[in-house]
Chain A
Amino acid sequence: MNKPGASIVVFACNWDGLSCIEVAAQKGLSYPASVKIVRVSCLSRVHSGLILKAFELGANGVMLLGCSRSGCHFEIESGLIEQEYEKTRNILGLLGLREKKLALIRLPGGDGPGFVKQVNDFIAGIEQTEPAAAQ
């Protein structure tokens, strides 16, 4: 499974998001090595500048991985990430880059298999529309 593939940046929140990735690692579930994890304290910390920077630096896709809306560790989910996600999707659309290159995924804590499935589906979607990304 560890073939080189589309270069993906995952911004994972420090709580449920990261726990999914840790569980995936503990269970020995594999996902492509081209997936780079960036840990952030909360997804609300991620803004369009960071996402666009990842694309500027050559990422083929960016995944935002965080807690479920009601499960935010900071009790009140501000909805900021939704705003930034929509905004960035629209910018990508204007740039003619496919909006599919950006995903916002919310998973319950410790869902390792869920994360691996989501990231693999995401990569498959990108490689299907953008075969050059697979190399």
Chain B
Amino acid sequence: MQNIEHEIKDTNIRLCLDCGKCTVVCPIAQHDPAFNPRLIAQRRLSQNSRGSRDDTIWSCLSCYMCMERCNYHVKFPSFIHALRAESLSEGTQIQCNHGGAIQAMMRLMARGDLQQKRLGWLPKDVELSSQSDTLFFVGCAPYFDVLFSDLGVNALEGVKGALKLLNRAQVPFNIIANERCCGRDLLLQGDRKGFTVLAKANMDEFTRHGVKKIITNCPECYYTLKVNYPNMLGSTGIQVMHLTQVVAPLVQGGKLSLGKLEKRVTYQDPCTLGRCSRIFNEPRQVLSAVAGLKLVEMEQSREKALCCGSNSWLQCGAVNRQIQKQRFAQAEISGAEILVTACPKCQIHLRCAQKSSDGKIARLEILDLASLAAQSLD
């Protein structure tokens, strides 16, 4: 518990002025008065908080909106993650979405003797460089496509698009057959032990293959490999880049030319890629490089972008649906035909909202950025 106290101190939460700006901008707090970031901080920091359990901490989206607004840069999402770890260690049972299937899958992946068969989807025309020290980290896309097949999720289309773009740009890369889930969702839920097992298993694989650089298409994998792995395991010595960081300079420098697509699109900044990793321009540069593609912004975009409504497979309910409805309304007003996102999880959550809506949610097409850019190459 000593560590948790130390971690809480590191989030600067004691600098909190009680101003409530975090609560004003929090998408959950706007629809659910019971969730109040300011009060969560106040309750935890008050002298008599010991022993009392705060059940509202599980609703946080880790969307970093509060941190964007906080004058003292209090790392509220990290504060919440620490509180969750503390709560979990005290035996709290958390309510997981999808019947806990994803958590169970992640924990099954942590097994040492695991030999996954996860590359059946790999197109034959993709050129892999087995000698390359650059790894394309596929992430959980093959699993998502199975688990969310009823929603029509095709996260693998994004991955295939990414591979096609890299091939076309002649960026050599390799793929490993036994990569595990990066473990971000376990970390965000407070399961440090589960996360560390996955992280170590992945690091062992990276070391075995002599990986020096990793490219990911999923923002969550990107941030976890880049920031959380070194934080938890010490320096990894691996450079981690998001696909858009690789592709954007290439298209801008004329080394990769994308094709033509006459479409009007809007871009959903994934929280982990945008506010959390500060990658706002690169995805837009890639989209702008597609001839004929018109990028229109939603009312809330870039630093102010609205979250897709759900995170770390926890607590998805009516409040989350309200956020998604709000986001779709913004997308519809923008006049776009396609909602482009760079995160498979945004795709899952937004498709889910579309499927279960009462017909009041816009029927926009939802596409992964990499798959859209790759489509233009055909």
Residues of A near any B CB (own CB < 8 A): 47-50, 52-53, 55-56, 83, 87, 90-91, 93-97
Chain A contacts for B118, CB-based, 8 A: 94, 96
Chain A contacts for B116, CB-based, 8 A: 94-96
Chain A contacts for B101, CB-based, 8 A: 47-49, 52, 91
Chain A contacts for B149, CB-based, 8 A: 87
B150 close to A49 (CB less than 8 A): no
A56-B99 Cα distance, complex, nearest whole Å: 13
Known: A91-B143, A91-B146, A95-B114. A56 touches B96 (CB 8 A): no
Confirm or deny: B147 has a beta carbon within 8 angstroms of a beta carbon on chain A. Answer: yes
Confirm or deny: B259 has a beta carbon within 8 angstroms of a beta carbon on chain A. Answer: no
Question: Which of B31-39, B104-112, B240-248 is the contact stretch?
Answer: B104-112
Confirm or deny: B100 has a beta carbon within 8 angstroms of a beta carbon on chain A. Answer: yes
Q: Please report the total number of B residues contacting A with Cβ < 8 Å.
A: 21
A96-B118 Cα distance, complex, nearest whole Å: 8
Q: Which of B104, B116, B117, B147 has the most CB of A within 10 A?
A: B104
Q: With CB as the reference atom, state the residue of chain B lying closest to A50.
A: B99
Chain B contacts for A96, CB-based, 8 A: 114-118
A94-B116 Cα distance, complex, nearest whole Å: 6
Confirm or deny: B98 has a beta carbon within 8 angstroms of a beta carbon on chain A. Answer: yes
Chain B contacts for A47, CB-based, 8 A: 98-99, 101
* Partner among A53, A83, A93 whose Cβ is within 8 Å of the Cβ of B150: A83
Chain B contacts for A83, CB-based, 8 A: 150
* Partner among B98, B104, B142, B143 whose Cβ is within 8 Å of the Cβ of A56: B104
Q: With CB as the reference atom, state the residue of chain B lying closest to A91.
A: B146
Known: A95-B114, A96-B116, A96-B117. A49 touches B108 (CB 8 A): no
A93-B108 Cα distance, complex, nearest whole Å: 12
B109 close to A49 (CB less than 8 A): no
Q: Could you list 25 A-B pairs, sorted by A, with CB under 8 Å?
A: A47-B98, A47-B99, A48-B98, A48-B99, A48-B101, A49-B96, A49-B98, A49-B99, A52-B100, A52-B105, A53-B100, A56-B104, A56-B107, A56-B108, A83-B150, A87-B146, A87-B147, A87-B149, A90-B146, A91-B105, A91-B146, A93-B117, A94-B118, A94-B146, A96-B114
